[in-house]
């Protein structure tokens, strides 16, 4: 692959920093939409649980790149809020399966609809092919990042 020009890499860094800053602000908003006591970084955890339906704590920790202890504490707080349930894994009673509760799913879906509305509004003047390409490039970047 060709060496990337330094100016282009600095521009990517600048735009990524702006995106992350904006994302943190949006995370505070959307977390409070899900539940007033929800930590902002928990939205991503809820997203993974919504996508997977049910998953083992160890698999989720590996996927998110966090320790099992850290994830267990986060799950505990989500359980206390009534958003997540932990049940014994039928194939291994020592392990737990995690999933959203009905209330967690309802609250997450409502907050997600709000977020998707914001994204839709930001991209409303983009051609559909550009939106698809943007999604492809973001996925490629995230896959390369790790």
- pLDDT at position 1 over 60: no
Domain limits for position 132: 7-145
Query: Model confidence over 126-145: pLDDT tens digits?
Result: 999 999 999 999 999 988 88
DSSP-derived 3-state class of residue 83: coil
Residue 67 to residues 20, 96, 141: CA-CA distances in angstroms?
23, 15, 24
> Is pLDDT larger for residue 98 or for residue 146?
98
pLDDT tens, residue by residue, 59-92 = 888 888 888 888 889 999 999 999 999 988 888 8
Mean pLDDT across 24-32:
82
For the chain, the C-alpha Rg in angstroms (whole number) is 18
pLDDT digits (tens, 9 = 90+) for 96-127: 899 999 999 999 999 889 888 989 999 999 99
Give the CATH number, domain containing residue 128.
Answer: 1.10.10.10
Q: How far is CA 26 from the centre of its chain?
A: 12
Q: Considering the domain boundaries, does residue 2 fall inside one?
A: no
**Total domains, the chain:** 1
Q: Is residue 1 part of a domain?
A: no
Residue 56: pLDDT above 70?
yes
């Amino acid at each position: 692959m060709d060496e990337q020009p330094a100016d282009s890499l600095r521009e990517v860094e600048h735009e990524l920093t702006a995106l992350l800053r904006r994302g943190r602000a949006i995370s505070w908003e959307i977390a409070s939409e899900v539940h007033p006591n929800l930590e902002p970084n928990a939205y991503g955890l809820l997203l993974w649980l919504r996508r997977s339906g049910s998953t083992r704590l160890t698999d989720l920790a590996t996927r998110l790149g966090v320790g099992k202890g850290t994830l267990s504490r986060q799950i505990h707080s989500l359980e206390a809020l009534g958003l997540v349930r932990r049940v014994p894994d039928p194939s291994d009673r020592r392990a737990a399966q995690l999933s959203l509760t009905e209330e967690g799913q309802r609250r997450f879906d409502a907050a997600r609809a709000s977020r998707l509305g914001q994204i839709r509004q930001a991209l409303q003047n983009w051609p559909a092919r550009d939106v698809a390409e943007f999604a492809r490039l973001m996925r490629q970047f995230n896959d390369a990042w790790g």
